[in-house]
Amino acid sequence: MAAASPQVFILLAAVLFVLSGGPLSPASCFKVAEGGVASLSCQYSVKRFGLSRVCWGRGCGTFWCSNILVQTDKSGVITKVEDRYRLTGDVLDGQMDLDILNVRRTDSGPYCCRVDIDGLFNDKKTIMNLRVVKVLVSSGFDASNPSVVMFPLRLSSIQQSSSNNSRPTSHLGQRLRDLLRRELRRDHGSKLENSAVV
């Protein structure tokens, strides 16, 4: 059996690249506390490409987002599947950030922002991976007082990109515990003497 020539492999790679819809931006990973707000960023140049259709979905399909959460048309009109999803930023300036309010554990997973750029296979795709983490509080707290146990927490200060993974997870966990302790001490003072943040 004869071996295939290098040209066949190059042609096959080119066909697979074209069918995939072109290049992807590297995936970024974000950790957000359950009940908080996840902010996923997406931007494109309106000056260069003009006002384009944009979608945010749970995946990048072949020609458009799969499981669409929010999308715009060329005139900037926004449609969404649920009120928890908000498009923030200046749509007319190409800033298409997705805020997910009151994040749930089921919100964990990949998200895709896709900008429809004229021409075949020119779409700009950005993939983000969201990880929703549960904030654990020990049973020493009074669960009947939700202000002690439940508060929205945005962890933008410890969001991390997969390409910049220099901090070990245990360090992030320690920072989260320290942040929770500071917030609870500020709000509830001496109630924390017999309680511990896990």
Mean pLDDT per 10-residue segment, the chain (198 residues): 53 40 59 94 92 93 93 85 92 90 96 91 92 75 43 40 39 59 55 40
Query: What does the domain layout of the chain look like in residue ranges?
Result: 21-133, 135-198
Fold of 21-133: Immunoglobulin-like (2.60.40)
pLDDT score for 101? 97
Please name the amino acid found at residue 44.
Answer: Y
pLDDT for residue 4: 60
Q: State the pLDDT at residue 42.
A: 95
pLDDT at 169: 40
Between CA 75 and CA 90, with CA 122 as vertex, the angle to 5 degrees is 35
Q: What is the pLDDT of residue 130?
A: 96
